[in-house]
Amino acid sequence: MIKCISNSFTYILVSLLSLSAFAQNIDVDAFEKKIQQTPNAYLLDVRTSGEFGGGHLPKAINIDFRSPDFSAKVAQLSKDKPVLIYCLSGGRSAQAAEQMRAAGFQVTEMKGGYLKWTTRMKPLEGVPSVKHDAAWNLADFKKEIASSDAVVVDFYAKWCAPCLKMMPIVDKLAGEFKGSVTVLKVEADGNQAIMQAYGIDEIPSFLVFSKGEMITKTSGFREEAALKELFTATKK
């Protein structure tokens, strides 16, 4: 009898822990409600400062997860306050949340990140007033990739300094490889469906396709020689 009770207790405990873990990663609507219900919580954006400067959730604070001083900055936060965390699509925030939980923080992640938040037309602040390029239709985008032997896709944003620095180099290489490599440019703002479809969670990012098959996926700033490797990769 005692063994039966013990087993039942263990089952209940495991179930509760599983539910608790599930509740740590919630959808956009639940995340918005959580913000409203816990005004004392830290609303933490772990994207880069450039991404943050292109728009963020109201009253969010920014600590770049990829920066060397991430742990040091997080250590300055009070563990008595809950943390509501997000990134572009959920990848970086999941890693940051795991690290912070191990350090003793109570962390709730937003499933789908900033991309999902914007597709639901939720409130934003800090969005620069720039004229955006025409958005892609996902079906047209896939058709373009499938119809070309070699494609380099440049995911960029007009508020992203590394993107702007690489843009003339990408244009130069597009000219050099004209006729053999097709270059598609996708602005992050307005093309959330494409970014989610291909798992793009950081800007700048590049995808390389050969005969419709993705062969390379990379992110971050690249010098001209490294960018040229993306164009030549389609020929290997």
Q: 82 near 41, Cβ under 8 Å? A: yes
Is 4 labeled as catalytic in the residue annotation?
no
Q: Which residue among the candidates 160, 166, 170, 186 is catalytic per the annotation?
A: 160
Integer Cα distance of 180 and 235 in angstroms:
9
Distance, in Å, from the CA atom of 46 to the CA atom of 44, rounded to the nearest integer, reads 6
Residue (of 106, 113, 120) closest to 45 by Cα position? 113
Order of strands across the sheet that contains 213-219: 182-187, 150-156, 205-210, 213-219
Catalytic residue among 100, 110, 151, 163: 163
Give the H/E segment covering residue 3: helix 2-23
CA angle 140/115/91 to nearest 5° reads: 110
Residues involved in catalysis: 160, 163
